[in-house]
Amino acid sequence: MANLSALQVISTGIAIVFVSGCVRLFWLFLSISRPVRDPRIKYPKTGPSHMVVVLGSGGHTAEMMSLLRDVDPTKYIHRTYIISSGDGFSSDRAFDIETKIQSRHNHGNVSSVGEVYPATGKWEVKIVPRARKIHQSRWTTALSSLWCLISCMATLRTSSITSIVSPFDYPDVIIANGPATAVMVVLASFLLKLFGFAPIYKMKTIYVESWARVKTLSLSGKVLLWLRICDKFVVQWEELAKNINQDGTRRKVEWSGFLVE
Amino acid sequence: MSGNKEERAEKPKSRKQCLITVGATATFEQLIRATLSVSVVEKLMEKGFSHVSYQCGDSFALFNELLPEEREKQLLFKVEKFAFKPKGLGEEIRKCKKVDGQSEEGLVISHAGAGTILDVMRMGVPLIVVPNPSLLDNHQSELAEELERQGYATQGGIKYALLTVKSDLADAIDIACAMAKKKTWGQENKVKGVATMMDEAVGAVHSPREEEDLSLRLDGTR
């Protein structure tokens, strides 16, 4: 035992980490789009939840507003909006979405960012750096994407710390629709689960492809479908769903009509 | 175009408004050129529009160049022009809506941006969607095609809009105004909304997938 070389110790360590990483990855992929439950909570869940919304530029944000029209702020008492830097306009849109969501519960009093209301809880806006600026070269794009990914992970972490559902609990669900930041946030949540920072029953991701996409997916949609890391991937046109699912032996995307109003 | 004014339809007593919008993100010069072409302007006057507003975006200068004030005075409709509306086009679209005793059914000629299209369809105003051919990833024309196929809107082209006879945009105006009963948006989309999907994801309600699993499990034990 005494003559164990350093090399042996290190290689065994690497092997253990690698194997457990693979097991975790396998388990994580199995859990995707399957109901995996928080064992501490009885189902159906009646307690409050924490949701994350990824906002992008004008068109996507307007659509998101329509998608979220029926969200009940008394159930989703903590709502985090993630926007990318430079989309200054989107933070106003987050307020518009909140106005709509809260309208039935707050008698016209919309809470401002960070305020905690007894009925409608709290909402907040988090800013992450852009993955790619216009006219940026390929090499710097790789770096800035990585930086964006790391900030997304940090953002999900900080929003979990300040969660009013239960401090240090990660968000329950993430909603995204088309912007490039969506890929980064979904990937960040996946990595947090892979590395064991977050349990796999947290941060269930729902991706809704833009209503404007009739026959083909957007770039964000293509990347996310290829990575297969979304728990729910929804498109809004039947033709698009048929194009992707083909023979229908394995349902890759879901379609049940228009989700926008 | 100032020629035979007498032959045209009489000016309607109530308001009949047309809104032409190029959008806020991409430049769409061709749509401004097309809608100011002789054939389209004549068609709008023939249909009896009393007010036409133009959202010109970046092409505001071009608009003034193509329609100088002395020419504007010769038109049978009132022209309103602006680059952008900071509060959105909602108010402008509402003016095109039919209100009994106040205004007749109007028309919106729009670029193929999803936001504007949805706004117009929600209000039930006749709509012509003109895809921008200079956008590289042209999923816009797919949307316009599908909306026309399903009867929600009319697809407008600008390829031959500048021709005096057989202008495709002028023809689209004919079709859009003749569509007696448009398909109203929102009747068929009573589906499971995103809020329900979220409830399923967090486990607040049972998802269909889960029920499938459960029945499989039950079958297995039998």
pLDDT at B168: 83
Q: Do A37 and B186 touch (CB under 8 A)?
A: no
From B106's Cα to the closest Cα of chain A, the distance in A is 22
Report, as an integer, the average pLDDT of A86-111: 83
Q: What is the pTM of this model?
A: 0.84
Closest CA to A183 of A54, A59, A58: A54
pLDDT at B187: 62
**Set of chain A residues whose Cβ sits within 8 Å of the Cβ of B145:** 214
pLDDT at A52: 97
Chain A contact probe: residue of B123, B194, B200, B211 with most A CBs at under 10 A? B194
Tokens 């670029």 sit on residue: B111
Residues 6+ apart with CB under 8 A from A60: A177, A178, A179, A210
The per-residue pLDDT for range B81-133, each reduced to its tens digit, is 999 887 778 889 999 988 888 888 899 999 988 888 988 988 889 999 999 88
**Set of chain B residues whose Cβ sits within 8 Å of the Cβ of A238:** none
Q: Do B197 and A41 touch (CB under 8 A)?
A: no
Q: Is the pLDDT of residue B6 over 50?
A: no
Q: Mean pLDDT, chain A, as a whole number?
A: 88
Q: Mean pLDDT lowest for which of A62-71, B135-144, B184-193?
A: B184-193
Q: Do A58 and B202 touch (CB under 8 A)?
A: no
CB-count exposure of residue A161 (10 Å: 0-12, 13-18, 19+): exposed
The per-residue pLDDT for range B155-201, each reduced to its tens digit, is 888 777 666 667 788 888 888 888 755 677 776 656 778 999 999 88
pLDDT at B182: 64
pLDDT at B54: 93
From A217's Cα to the closest Cα of chain B, the distance in A is 9
A 10 A CB-CB count for B125 gives 23
pLDDT at B45: 92
Question: How do the domains of chain B map onto residue ranges?
Answer: 13-181
Reported confidence tier of residue B3, pLDDT bands at 50, 70, 90: very low
Q: Mean pLDDT, chain B, as a whole number?
A: 82
Report, as an integer, the average pLDDT of A100-129: 88
Domain B13-181: state its class.
alpha beta
The per-residue pLDDT for range B49-93, each reduced to its tens digit, is 999 999 998 889 999 999 988 888 889 999 999 998 877 788 899
pLDDT at B84: 87
CATH code for residues A40-255: 3.40.50.2000
pLDDT at A189: 96
Residues in chain B whose Cβ is within 8 Å of chain A: 24-25, 112-115, 118, 122, 139-140, 142-143, 145-146, 186, 188-199, 201-207, 209-210, 213
